[in-house]
Amino acid sequence: MQERPLSGIRVLDLTNVLAGPYCSYQLMLLGAEVVKVETPGQGDLARNLGPDPELNRAGLGASFLAQNAGKKSLEIDLKAPAGRAAFEDLVRGADVLLENFRAGVLDRLGFGWPRLRELNPRLVYCAVSGFGQTGPMSQAPAYDQIIQGLSGMMSVTGTRETAPLRVGFPVCDTVGGLAAALHICAALAGRASTGRGTFLDVSMLEAAVSAMGWAVSNYLVSGVPPEPMGTQNATSAPSGTFEAADGPLNIAANRQEQFETLCAILDRRDLLDDPRFADREARKLHREELDGELNTVLRRRTAREWEETLGAAGVPAARVAEVPQAVELEQLRHRGFFTDLPFPDGSGRTLRVAGSGVLHDGEPLRPAAPPPLLGEQNGERRELAARWNGTETAVTP
């Protein structure tokens, strides 16, 4: 593979749990050198999170292992004089400083943007928080579920009977991390021409509302609030989850020609002559009747059979997988999406971690090393800081 896009970029990562670590994991996959600065004796809270109590006690919780491969770990106490001095040395040589404290925490520690810019005018400083650094909610605590609720996301998840429901994974953390990674890359590109650093104030709430797309924009444009529709697609019909012989099947016949092809394959061309199903708007009004007609035929074959038959004819369709099935999809294997690494504890076990979902010149981006033990690079701190600052020869081994 050619040199990765962020090769040579140095990221100082003060983040915890998910939004921030997910961001720095993406930067690492793109080639950046990421150094986690962790509280001595404690480290990233995610080290203690996950379904395996033994790993949690060892500081290698599954939540930590998932997002921290390929990074380094230093224990630094930002409240102690020696720790503050060590941190300043690293800031001077860093390209990016990433943190997800509550708004103002780093400033109260004496490292607000004015001080950081004084230490390193070229620094890209990215602060990820629930609500941003300003505004009436800036000091409110926030986790993913809080953001899901306030953004309106939960109100459109589920059915009229079950909503509001939480999305089944921390989507707002992930979206916030992606937004941070995108704007860090943009700031680095801008710095190449201006020579100046940037302060990036990332709001998970705003990133979540932005990511909701049509659920928000349709209301802003039409004034009609979206409603929870379960597995159905509000913009089209038939588009949603249907009943195959062995389980659920997703079909998205969003275009007229796809609906006509679907009817032909199901031997239900009579539906095309029914005024209730003549066009998209009519089908949306009579969604339940149409779904009932289609399910009568779809129940005769398995979801996998329909997936192959309909897909070959140009009608988007696929079975609904559970996570154990999803991670074993041949498509992911073919693309090299997962990487196997040795467990960081030296136990000989294998750790499988996810990639970015993007191939660069036909190749997936992979971490080269497992997640670090807490403080694993403590003994290398002075050499690392000297290398970042271009003063290696001044360091005594």
In a domain, 162, yes or no: yes
In a domain, 4, yes or no: no
The tokens for 342 are: 């040795």
CA distance 29 to 71: 10
| Angle, CA of 132, 136 and 139, to the nearest 5° | 60
Could you tell me where the beta strands, DSSP code E, fall in the chain?
10-13, 33-38, 72-75, 96-99, 124-129, 198-203, 239-244, 247-252, 317-319, 338-342, 350-354, 359-360, 363-364
Provide the pLDDT for residue 227: 92
CA distance 280 to 235: 9
**pLDDT tens digits along 65-82:** 999 999 999 999 999 999
Map residue 171 onto helix, strand or coil: helix
Radius of gyration of the chain (CA): 25
Same domain, 316 and 342: no
In a domain, 143, yes or no: yes
- 183 pLDDT exceeds 70? yes
Q: Give the DSSP letter string of 113-127.
A: HHHHHHH-TT-EEEE
Closest CA to 26 of 14, 45, 37, 11: 11
Same domain, 15 and 99: yes
**pLDDT tens digits along 289-321:** 999 999 999 999 999 999 999 999 999 999 999
Q: Is residue 346 within 8 Å of residue 293, measured between CB atoms?
A: no
Same domain, 101 and 136: yes
Name the catalytic one among 44, 89, 95, 173: 173
CA distance 372 to 389: 23
Same domain, 289 and 343: no
Number of compact structural domains in the chain: 2
Please report which confidence band the pLDDT of residue 2 belongs to, taking 50, 70 and 90 as the band edges.
Answer: low
Same domain, 63 and 138: yes
Range of the domain at 131: 10-211+337-394
- 56 pLDDT exceeds 50? yes
In a domain, 327, yes or no: no
**pLDDT tens digits along 251-302:** 999 999 999 999 999 999 999 999 999 999 999 999 999 999 999 999 999 9
Same domain, 203 and 347: yes
Is there a catalytic annotation at residue 270? Answer: no
Same domain, 345 and 385: yes
In a domain, 330, yes or no: no
Please report which confidence band the pLDDT of residue 392 belongs to, taking 50, 70 and 90 as the band edges.
Answer: low
Report DSSP state, residue 275: G
Which residue is associated with the tokens 């009608």? 315
CATH of the domain at 97: 3.40.50.10540
Same domain, 162 and 281: no
Please report how the helices 381-389 and 81-93 are oriented relative to each other, as an axis angle in degrees rounded to 10. 40
CATH of the domain at 283: 3.30.1540.10
Q: Amino acid identity, residue 292?
A: G
Provide the pLDDT for residue 1: 56
Find how far residue 18's CA is from the centre of its chain.
9
CA distance 74 to 33: 13
Same domain, 297 and 354: no
Same domain, 172 and 34: yes
In a domain, 182, yes or no: yes
In a domain, 231, yes or no: no
Provide the pLDDT for residue 394: 37
Provide the pLDDT for residue 395: 35
**pLDDT tens digits along 75-122:** 999 999 999 999 999 999 999 999 999 999 999 999 999 999 999 999
Q: Which of 286, 321, 356 is the last residue of a domain?
A: 321
Same domain, 150 and 293: no
In a domain, 230, yes or no: no
Provide the pLDDT for residue 3: 85
In this structure, the number of other CB atoms found within 10 A of the CB of residue 323 comes to: 9
Q: Amino acid identity, residue 260?
A: E
Same domain, 51 and 168: yes
